[in-house]
Amino acid sequence: MTPASPPNPPVSRRAFLRDGVRLGAMTGLGALLGLASTRSKAKPGYVWQIDPNKCVRCGNCATACVLKPSAVKCVQAYPICGYCELCTGYFVPEPNALTTAAENQVCPTAAIRRRFIEEPYYEYSIDEELCIGCGRCVEGCTRFGNGSFYLQIRHDRCLNCNECSIARVCAGDAIHRVPASQPYFIKTTAHE
């Protein structure tokens, strides 16, 4: 049953005006779509990511994310890691002993796993369930080590907000939109 208009439409002029404005609105939307199509690339999709060359390890990643725990996690670039026994990303500056005791660890949530490989090499890996993205280990590794630990936004967790809350308060202005096809910075070093 069609929604019938009242038997005597009040003013047909009004209906005409309405139709005109509606047409104008549709034209406007069409123009908008056209403009958007000239801008939209063939490969759409942007996600947020941290540039490790700009990150200053301020600690905001752990607290500013809308998620709890943060979508930012530390990642390990194994080919760069030195596998040191005294890993400065793992141990506090003056550890009591090179053990896995909590007081010796830099990580506040003990999210770094230290595994003996062979003399004198130890493997360090991140447990993402525990990591809160605070960047303390990244600071230790970057300041004294090879910089194989760095912070990245993990896209199996990130909600891809319109505006990243961490990006607004990032002390290094390190968080920007990157194409969804290349969502991570894979760190390689090039020393001379």
Partner 1 sequence: MNLAGRIALAVVIGVLAWATGARAEQRFPPPEFESDYQMPAMTTPPPRALVWQYIDVGVLAVALGVAVWLVHRKRSRTGVLVLSVLSLIYFGFYRTGCICPIGAPQNVLFGLLNPNYAVPWPVVGLFVLPVVVALFAGRAFCAGVCPHGALQDLVLLKPVQVPLWLERGLSLVPFLFLGAGLAFAATGSIFLICKLDPFVPLFRRHGPTWSLLLGAAFLLVGTVVGRPFCRFICPYGALLRLAAMVTKWRVRVTPDLCTQCKLCEQSCPFGALRQPSSGTPDPRTLPVERRRLLALLLLWPALIAVGAWIGAHLTVPASRLHPTVRLAEFYLEHKKHPKQYPIQSPEALSLLRAEQTWPELQAAALQLRHRIGLSMKLFGGWAGLVVGAGLIGLAVRRSRTDYEPDSGACLACARCFESCPQELLRRGVPIPLPTAASAAQPQSVVANLPTAAQTTNR
Partner 2 sequence: MRRLVSRRWFVGRGVVAAVLGRLAAVVGAEARAAKPPANPFAYDITKFRTIDPKWLHYQQVAQFKVPRSEARRVAIGPDQNLYVSAGNYVCVLNTAGQRLNEFALPSPVRCVAVAGDGLVYVSLRDHLEVLDSKGQRRASWESPNKKTWFTGLAVGDNDLFAADSGNRVVLRYDRSGKLLKRIGEKNPDRNIPGFVLPSPFLDVELHPDGLLRVNNPGRHQVLAFTVEGDMELAWGKPTMAIEGFCGCCNPIALAILPGGRIVTCEKGLPRVKVYSVRGELESVVAGPATFADNAKACDPTDCTTGGLDAVADRAGRIYVLDPVANDLRVFARRDGPTASSQAS
Chain residues binding partner 2 by CB under 8 A are 53-59, 62-63, 81-88, 93-94, 106, 108, 120, 134-136, 139-147, 172, 189, 191-192
92 near partner 1, judged by CB under 8 A = no
41 near partner 1, judged by CB under 8 A = yes
Beta carbons of 124 and 137 less than 8 angstroms apart:
no
Rounded-to-integer distance, Cα 65 and Cα 83, Å = 31
In the bound state with partner 2, the residue whose beta carbon lies nearer, of 156 and 192, is 192
Q: Which residue has tokens 């809160």?
A: 132
Report in angstroms how near the CB of residue 107 gets to partner 2 at its nearest: 10
78: closest CA among 158, 152, 146? 146
Report in angstroms how near the CB of residue 101 gets to partner 1 at its nearest: 24
Report in angstroms how near the CB of residue 47 gets to partner 2 at its nearest: 22
Q: What does the radius of gyration of the chain's CA atoms come to, in whole angstroms?
A: 27
In the bound state with partner 1, the residue whose beta carbon lies nearer, of 24 and 100, is 24
Report in angstroms how near the CB of residue 93 gets to partner 2 at its nearest: 5
Rounded-to-integer distance, Cα 151 and Cα 135, Å = 7
What token pair was written down for 67? Answer: 């998620």
Rounded-to-integer distance, Cα 20 and Cα 113, Å = 68
Among partner 2, partner 1, none, the one that 88 touches (CB under a kind-dependent 5 to 8 A) is partner 2
